[in-house]
Structure 1
Amino acid sequence: MATTLAALFAGWDLHQQRIVQMIAPLTPEQLLLRSAPDMWHVSILAAHVIGTRAFWFHEIMREGPPEMAGWSGLDDIDESARTVERLVQGLDETWAMIGAVLARCTADDLDATFERVYPTHTRLFTRQSLLLRVLTHDAHHGGEISQILGMHGVMGMDW
C-alpha cells in the first residue's frame, strides 16, 4: 500500500492544533489586537486562514461537503460574526477537510491538476502546488497571529 500524503505532510496537523490552542482562549478584545493600526487584527487573520483553506480545497479542488463553501470569504464579513467559537469551528472543519485529503491521497495524486478560472484566463494548479500554498499560508499567518499576541503580552503559539 502506498504511503499517504498524511505521512509526507506530517506536522501540519500539529501546527493546526497549535493555532486552535492559541485562538481558543482569546477574549473578544484580544481578537481585535493588531501589530499596527493599518494591519489586520487577529480575528481577520484567523478568518483568512479558514477562508483560504476553504477556497483552495473546496472551491478549486472540490473537496469537502457542500457546507464547506460557507467558510470561504469569512475574512470579508463583519467582525461580530467572528467569535472565538466560530473561528475554532472554522479551523477544525477546514482542517478535517484537509486531513481527509492527506489521508486519502498518495504521492501519485500530487500531479492531479485543478483549474482556477479568472475573468481573462484559466490557470492550472497541481495538487502539490496547492498543498504547499495552503501549508505555507497556514504557517505564515499562524506565526503572524502569534507575533501579534506576543507584542501585546498574550501567549502566542506554543512552539
Structure 2
Amino acid sequence: MTQPLSPLVTFYRQGWENHHQALIASITPLTQEQLSLPVAPHHTSIGELLAHMVDARISWFHGWMGESNKAMIHWHEERLRNTLTTYEATELAASFEESWQVISSAMERWNFADLERVFPAAHQAWLQSQGFEEEPAHTRQWIVWHVLEHEIHHGGELSLALGTHGLESFYTW
C-alpha cells in the first residue's frame, strides 16, 4: 500500500508555487542594466541575488538530496568553476523554472516517511580541508523548509531592491 502524501508537502508545494510564479513574473521583464543594480548600497546586484537563490535550490535539492535534471546539473557545474557570470533575465527565469520542475515533482512524490529521511552533508571532506566544522545531517523536511525560508527571505530582499529602484516589486498575491 502506498503511503499518502504528507499534508505538509502539499502545503509547501501550493504556497511555494505561488511564490515561484511571483518570482518569475518579477524576473522576466528585467533588463541587463536592472539586473546589475545593487540590492542595497555596497551589496550584491539583483542578478547576483537571483543567482544565489537558484544556487540554494540546486545545492540542497541536487547536492544534498540528489533531486535534479540536466539543467540543474549544468548550472551546478558552471557555478563550481567559480567564474564571475552575468546572467540575463531569461536565463535566470529558465533556471528558476527548471529547478521548480524538480522541486514540484519531488514534492508530489514524497510521503510522510520520505520527509523523515536523513541526508548527511556531501561536502564534509571539503569543510574539514578548509578548517570548518562539519555540518550536521538534515531531514528532507528540514531541507525543504530551509530552502523555502531562504526564498522567502531573499524574495523580500528582491522586492525591496526592485521598489527602491522604481521597478515593479515582487508580489505573491
Say whether the fold is shared (TM-score over 0.5): yes
Amino acid at match of 1:78: L
Distance 1:35 1:142 in 2: 11
Deviations 1:5-64 (A, max 9, x none): 542312100000000100100111111122433211110011111111011100110012
Distance 2:9 2:140 in 1: 14
Amino acid at match of 2:61: F
Q: Answer yes or no: is 1:7 the counterpart of 2:22.
A: no
Q: 1:35 to 1:54 in 2, by over 3 A?
A: closer
Q: Contact conserved, 1:35 with 1:41, CA < 8 A, in 2?
A: yes
Q: Tell me the secondary structure at the aligned position of residue 153 of structure 1.
A: coil
**Alignment partner, residue 131 of structure 2:** none
Distance 1:67 1:86 in 2: 11
Q: Contact conserved, 2:39 with 2:46, CA < 8 A, in 1?
A: no
**Alignment partner, residue 84 of structure 2:** 78
- Paired residues for 1:9-24 under 5 Å: 9=12, 10-24=14-28
Q: Structure 2 unaligned runs (5+)?
A: 129-133
**Alignment partner, residue 157 of structure 1:** 170
Match of 2:148 among 135, 140, 144: 135
The percent identity for this pair of structures is: 32
Compute the TM-score of the two structures, normalised by the length of structure 1: 0.89
- Paired residues for 1:45-84 under 5 Å: 45-72=49-76, 73=79, 77-80=83-86, 82-84=87-89
Distance 2:9 2:116 in 1: 16
Deviation at 1:158, TM superposition (A): 2.3
Match of 1:36 among 40, 44, 68: 40
Q: Structure 1 unaligned runs (5+)?
A: none
Deviation at 1:115, TM superposition (A): 1.2
Deviation at 1:66, TM superposition (A): 4.6
Computing the radius of gyration over CA atoms, which structure comes out larger, 1 or 2?
Answer: 2
Q: Contact conserved, 2:5 with 2:108, CA < 8 A, in 1?
A: no
Match of 1:109 among 108, 114, 130: 114
CA RMSD for the aligned pairs?
A: 1.9
Aligned length: 157
Compute the TM-score of the two structures, normalised by the length of structure 2: 0.83
Q: 1:68 to 1:107 in 2, by over 3 A?
A: same
Q: 1:85 to 1:22 in 2, by over 3 A?
A: same
Amino acid at match of 2:67: E
Distance 1:57 1:32 in 2: 27
